[in-house]
Amino acid sequence: MCSLALISALMTVSCSTPSAPSASLLIWPNPAGTTSFFATLPNVAAGQPLSLGGIVVCAQGGSGIRVDRVELANAHNLTLQAFAVRRTTIGDPAGGVTLGAEPKTLSEVGFLGAGAPVNVDTHCYPNGRAAHAGEGNWELGLQLSRTTAGTGVETGVIIHYSSAGIAQTLEIPFVVTLCAPRDTTDACGTG
């Protein structure tokens, strides 16, 4: 009888222990079905900050996400000066707007907290209907600059994030070319 009471007490303890939250995935919802996207920007002076947006991400499942840092996957003659993440209405059937490219810093174009980790606390918009509470997409903003006299090229962005204590990454195939002034090659559209 004593052992039965001990087993009963252990069962009660194990049944009342809360389960760990499940991890979310950060995804790049790609409604156009493209495998990558690109931007070519002419006449960008070396050292000039250039902010790019339009990279939409969202959380899928689980307990939410913390975007910790962003890095360029394959940079040549350019650097990532800062990143920031903000809510966007892109993906909502009512429409929305994202940042294209501006020769300004991220803070000058409305992204707050550049370089600071941010919590992505809403889940992806469902296709074909307006978002409910707890749903919404996020826009990743990148502040880049050319580091040399030559044209700068980048072929991917890696987002480092964590969810439920698990570190993860998302790589987005994003080709950006920051053309040097007087670059006459075909890649910069002036050749």
pLDDT in tens, 90-109: 655 455 667 888 899 999 98
Q: Which residues contact 174 (CB under 8 A, 6 or more apart)?
A: 36, 37, 38, 55, 154, 155, 156, 157
- Name the more confident of 70 and 129: 70
What stretch of H or E contains 177? strand 174-178
Neighbours of 81 (CB within 10 A): 17
**Mean pLDDT over residues 128-150, rounded?**
80
pLDDT tens sequence across 158-171: 999 998 888 999 98
**Mean pLDDT over residues 2-14, rounded?**
34
- Name the more confident of 139 and 135: 139
Instruction: Quote the CA–CA distance of 176 and 156 in Å, as a whole number.
Output: 8
Nearest to 172, CA basis, from 90, 56, 20, 94: 56
Name the pLDDT band for 12 (thresholds 50, 70, 90).
very low
Q: Which domains does the chain have, with CATH numbers?
A: 21-188 (2.60.40)
**Mean pLDDT over residues 42-62, rounded?**
86
Nearest to 70, CA basis, from 177, 166, 172: 172
Pair of tokens at residue 67 = 């975007």
Instruction: Quote the CA–CA distance of 183 and 78 in Å, as a whole number.
Output: 15
- Write a three-state SS string for 102-155: ECCCCHHHCCCCCCCCEEECCECCCCCCCCCCCECEEEEEEEEEECCCCCEEEC
Question: Cα dihedral angle (51, 35, 172, 48), rounded to 10 degrees?
Answer: -20
User: Is a pLDDT exceeding 50 seen at residue 61?
Assistant: yes
**Mean pLDDT over residues 2-20, rounded?**
37
